[in-house]
Amino acid sequence: MKRQLAFPLRALIGAATAFLLSSVARSQNAWLVGTYPGSHFVTLQEAIESPLVKPRDALFVFAPRPSGPVTTNKPLTLLGLRGGGFGLLCPLTVRDIPVGDRFEIIGGSADSLAGRDEYIHFENCDGQILLSRVWNMPTLPGPPSILFRNCPRVSINQCSLHEAAIIDSTAAIARTTFDLIGNTYGIPPLYLQGSDVTMAGCNATTLPAALNVRSPPTIVMDRGRLHITGANGDGIYTAGGITQANYGIWSNGGEVVIDPDVLLNPSGAHPPLGGSSRFTFEQMAFIKVTHQGPGYLIAPQAFGTPGDTASMFVGVSAERSLALPGLGDLWMTPAFMWHLGTRTFNQIAEESFVTLIPPTVPIGTPLTFQMLTLTPSGVAKVSMPSEVPVAQAICPRCQ
């Protein structure tokens, strides 16, 4: 049983934190977008379509003006000025990001308060797609508010998504809430099709669209694989009256593995699981981590099973996973990974680690955190990944 309680922080700051990232650094210019004084561009459309903005550049966004639809294949990093959030204020479609590049949104939102006028779609992207601290609020029927289609390397962390669809993709999701408030007309908060998805420390809930209207299942999966782990109240819920609620997870033709610590409709009033998939239960360790900028401390929290020993590792995210026979998948580049320390879980089953992000690390560098756990009986396993970008709070060209 994993529980999240206060625990003394044990710092580990040493030579292992000198990431030697110069060999993986990206060429990068920074641009200011929006209505902030001195902005280079007023709308995201103007910035993304500008020939001045090159692939791998960073766009710091502050209150941009609305614009028309944007379609791009430029690998870019979009983030809020001084660490703040920002609205896209445009429909955004990203296609054909190649292997070796990535597209990142850090702190953005697609509010769609007037319908489906804002959305974020990723299609046919072989490079990494990374969302951190992103949220959306779709209203009225329409295309999926956030869509990943044929994207083999998706990372989602610290997000609040009221609707997302992951189709024929591979996604690592951590510290994210999928929360339907009945405003999407029967669309589940999370729809999966033919995908391989891991969820660590996440929550998902759904409410009926209106009184006496049956809500959709919270998570719907059609084929694929879904692994869910969590602790301290993390769970999959449906709400509303008995006649209004639906399944927590409805899955057909796939495999669903669930950590017993994840709560599944705990009230007992609504069915937790349904469909033809094979549902199994397994204890799984996981990591919660919040993104930080260059020169800041980053503190991943490890959750596991009392008595197990866990070694924490951090590295630069790999383009594809490396299968470790009998252990699991490694999602970081072996040449750029470092050991942060080893702990044995006590009855609290939660440990904290600390490391420093060197000041020279480029903005947007994706970091992967994973653990190697060892049970008292000698069974070893690699945890699912938690991935965050290095996110600088202040634009270097906006001083």
pLDDT at residue 170 greater than cutoff 90: yes
Render pLDDT for 213-258 as a digit per residue (tens, 0 to 9): 677 788 999 999 999 999 888 888 877 666 666 788 999 999 999 9
pLDDT at residue 270 greater than cutoff 90: no
pTM (predicted TM-score)? 0.88
Render pLDDT for 190-205 as a digit per residue (tens, 0 to 9): 999 999 999 999 988 8
With cut-offs at 50, 70 and 90, classify the pLDDT of residue 306. Answer: very high
Q: Which residues of 45-81 are buried (b: 16+ CB within 10 A; e: fewer)?
A: bbbbeeeebebbbbbbbbbbeebeebebeebbbbbbb
Report yes or no: 140 and 157 within 8 Å, Cβ to Cβ: no
pLDDT at 141: 64
Q: What is the mean pLDDT of the chain?
A: 83
Q: List the single range of 32-41, 60-69, 138-147, 317-326 with lowest mean pLDDT.
A: 138-147
pLDDT mean over 109-114: 55
- Apex 286 CA angle, 285 and 290, nearest 5: 160
pLDDT at 217: 84
pLDDT at residue 18 greater than cutoff 90: no
Report yes or no: 148 and 174 within 8 Å, Cβ to Cβ: no
pLDDT at residue 88 greater than cutoff 60: yes
pLDDT at 312: 95
Run of H or E including 46? helix 44-49
Cα separation, 389 vs 132, whole angstroms: 7
Identify the bridge partners of residue 7 per DSSP, sorted by sequence position.
Answer: none
86 Rama class: left (phi>0) / alpha (psi -120 to 50) / beta: beta
Total count of residues recorded for the chain = 399
Contacts of 109 (CB under 8 A, 6+ apart): 85, 86, 87, 88, 134, 135, 136, 137
Report yes or no: 364 and 77 within 8 Å, Cβ to Cβ: yes
Residue type, 56: R
pLDDT at residue 24 greater than cutoff 90: no
Render pLDDT for 315-336 as a digit per residue (tens, 0 to 9): 999 999 999 999 999 999 988 8
All domains in the chain, ordered by first residue: 290-383 (2.20.130)
pLDDT at 30: 87
Cα separation, 283 vs 258, whole angstroms: 8
256 Rama class: left (phi>0) / alpha (psi -120 to 50) / beta: beta
pLDDT at 185: 59
Cα separation, 31 vs 45, whole angstroms: 13
The DSSP output letter for 384 is P
Helical spans, DSSP H, in 195-265 = none
pLDDT at 271: 80
Cα separation, 344 vs 67, whole angstroms: 53
